[in-house]
Amino acid sequence: MSAKIRLQRHGSKKRPFYFIVIADSRAPRDGKFIQKLGTYNPLTVPATIQLDRQKALEWLNKGATPTDTVRRILSFKGVLYLKHLLRGVSLGLFDDAAAMEKFTA
């Protein structure tokens, strides 16, 4: 089973509202999901994004692949950068404190 981080559409016609979820890649777009990570509302200016960073990072480390739109959202929220820094910690390039300092800066 390959897990995907993707958007699940809610809302009425021409008024989209999305949940960011972990789902099996074979499941339909609005079907069964494993876990909800947050929400995305593209109608507000700027778009409203609520995301649980720790859960998203945990699923990325487990091997879940994000869709293109979700990858942009994760990049905007800094989750992909944090994953990159923690990979450097695991390789021994720098310690955990330095990684968190770089992330906050």
- At residue 61, the pLDDT reads 92
Q: Which domains does the chain have, with CATH numbers?
A: 3-104 (3.30.1320.10)
- At residue 95, the pLDDT reads 83
**Cβ neighbours of residue 71 under 8 Å, at least 6 residues apart?**
80
29-82 confidence digits (pLDDT tens): 888 899 999 999 999 999 999 999 999 999 999 999 999 999 999 999 999 999
CA gap 61, 65 in Å, rounded:
10
Measured in residues, the chain has a length of 105
- At residue 62, the pLDDT reads 92
> What pTM did the predictor assign?
0.88
- At residue 1, the pLDDT reads 66
